[in-house]
Amino acid sequence: MLTKRIIGCFDVDNGRVVKGISFVELRDAGDPVELATLYDHEGIDELVFLDITASHEDRNTVVDMVRRTADRVFIPFTVGGGLRSDDDMMLMLESGADKITINTAAVERPALISEGAQRFGSQCIVVAIDARTESDGSMQVYTHGGRRPTGIDAVEWAREVVERGAGEIMLTSMNTDGHQDGYDIPLTRAVSDAVGVPVIASGGAGNAQHMIDAIAEGNADAVLAASIFHFGTHPIMDVKRQMRAAGIPMRMEQADYDDVL
């Protein structure tokens, strides 16, 4: 049976992971590659790196991070942040990323989705959607890190990005993001039920039950989490055991590359 995925997400600024991360076992907790290696070892199913560096003039730092990650991590990983052309995507994929994710750039120029899908295949193209449920109940797409309303309906946009070739949707609720109080179930469900591609729920993870709800109630195919794993208080395998106990199919293997060879 296809398992549900737990995806670890790192925000990276100038090659350093932002948001406080305190792993005692790490020599350098700000190094995204070292964190990625640890998460892989701890049983994460997939990783996302979001480059939030203000200036994207110099891509060398990100390329270096992607290359070093591909050297050490043998699970899929996605890279996003400031990618504006299919050549930008190519650079990341050639450096070793399995998928790329685009958000604001896709809203500003939707043809970018199909350009990427035609050149690299839909399986590489993850469209990130930031959405907010407004007081009138409408679900609106936001861009620029959730700061700018677009007037676009989230479900309609989700359908459109899939038509244009997105292979997966990473859906973040601006209502729940950062609160660690649970994912946005109605939004997740509305989008997941509207499209035929996998949907990753994002924003609001605080414990295993939240992830169970996002999958069982929100029909998410994967759950993304940033901060809950970053402090070691919710070990990944503990979360997976709870999810499996709730009837959700999970991958329980952990990568010990030295042991298996």
Partner 1 sequence: MSDPLLADLDVIILDYGAGNLRSVVRAVERVGARPEVASEPAALDEADVVILPGVGAAADTMRNLRERALVEPIREYIAADRPFLGVCMGLQALMTVSEEGGEHACLDVLQGRVVRLPAGRKIPHMGWNQVALRRRTPLFEGIPDGSHFYFVHSYYCDMAEPAEVVAVAEYGTDVTAAVERGRLAATQFHPEKSGAYGLRIYGNFLREHACA
Considering beta carbons, is residue 78 or 133 the nearer one to partner 1? 78
Considering beta carbons, is residue 139 or 220 the nearer one to partner 1? 220
Considering beta carbons, is residue 128 or 174 the nearer one to partner 1? 128
- Judged by CB under 8 A, the residue of 120, 157, 183, 229 near partner 1 is 120
If binding is defined by CB under 8 A, does position 48 make contact with partner 1?
no
Provide the CA 72 distance to its chain's centre, in angstroms.
Answer: 19
Say if residues 47 and 9 touch (Cβ distance below 8 Å).
yes
Question: Cα(63)–Cα(58) distance, rounded to whole angstroms?
Answer: 10
Closest approach of Cβ 157 to partner 1, in Å? 18
Contacts of 200 (CB under 8 A, 6+ apart): 5, 7, 126, 168, 169, 170, 171, 220, 221, 222, 223, 224
Say if residues 245 and 26 touch (Cβ distance below 8 Å).
no
If binding is defined by CB under 8 A, does position 28 make contact with partner 1?
no
If binding is defined by CB under 8 A, does position 67 make contact with partner 1?
yes
Tokens matching residue 199:
């949907």
Please say if 98 is a catalytic residue.
no
Applying CB under 8 A, the span of 18-26, 39-47, 104-112, 148-156 interacting with partner 1 comes to 39-47
The CA-based angle 248-210-8, given to 5 degrees, is 80
- Judged by CB under 8 A, the residue of 78, 95, 188, 202 near partner 1 is 95
- Which of 33, 26, 40, 103 lies closest to 63, judged by CA? 33
Question: Cα(252)–Cα(101) distance, rounded to whole angstroms?
Answer: 27
- Active-site entry in 130, 177, 213, 221: 130
Distances (CA, A) of 203 to 48, 161, 224: 14, 20, 8
Q: What's the distance, Cα to Cα, between the start and end of the chain in Å?
A: 26
- Judged by CB under 8 A, the residue of 50, 91, 93, 225 near partner 1 is 93
If binding is defined by CB under 8 A, does position 136 make contact with partner 1?
no
Tokens matching residue 70:
């591909």
Residues 158 to 177 in contact with partner 1, rule: CB under 8 A: 167-168
Question: Cα(172)–Cα(147) distance, rounded to whole angstroms?
Answer: 13
Question: Cα(33)–Cα(17) distance, rounded to whole angstroms?
Answer: 9
- Judged by CB under 8 A, the residue of 123, 138, 209, 233 near partner 1 is 123
Considering beta carbons, is residue 69 or 133 the nearer one to partner 1? 69
If binding is defined by CB under 8 A, does position 63 make contact with partner 1?
no
- Judged by CB under 8 A, the residue of 28, 58, 64, 71 near partner 1 is 71
What is the size of the binding site for partner 1 (CB under 8 A)?
A: 43
If binding is defined by CB under 8 A, does position 104 make contact with partner 1?
no
If binding is defined by CB under 8 A, does position 253 make contact with partner 1?
yes
Please say if 177 is a catalytic residue.
no
Query: What are the residues binding partner 1 (CB under 8 A)?
Result: 1-5, 40, 45-46, 67, 70-71, 74-76, 90, 93-98, 120-124, 167-168, 196-198, 221-222, 249, 251, 253-257, 259-261
